[in-house]
Structure 1
Amino acid sequence: MSFLGLRKWPTPFAKPMWPFIAAGSLTLYLVGKMQDMGVRSEEHAKDPRNPYAAQIAKESHH
């Protein structure tokens, strides 16, 4: 049976979506790395408003 002349074709989810999944994963990874680099930069590492300041200070002493 067709709906408005369109036939139902079985399309797996991953086959047409793999470029978007790959690009999204890569973007998420790179944004996370950039955020970590920004938080650990010399300018922001000693800022008291930085929520990771204590952790960075502890790691820098070792």
Structure 2
Amino acid sequence: MKRQKRDKLGRAHSNGYQAGLGGKAKEQCPYQNLEAKSEWLGGWREAITDRNMGLYK
């Protein structure tokens, strides 16, 4: 059971990261669940930071 939960949250983080790299706004988060939304936003913030540091264009 725990593995499935971790996989979903990991996927949410990855999806948020991809969204951030793609230039999407954080308001476009597709998740309603608080944990998943938090992970998505964490990934999104990480991607925005990486883009601002010049790691991705």
- State if a TM-score over 0.5 links the two structures: no
TM range (shorter): 0.3 to 0.5
| TM-score (normalizing by structure 2) | 0.40
| TM-score (normalizing by structure 1) | 0.37
Higher RCO structure (Cα 8 Å, ≥6 apart):
2
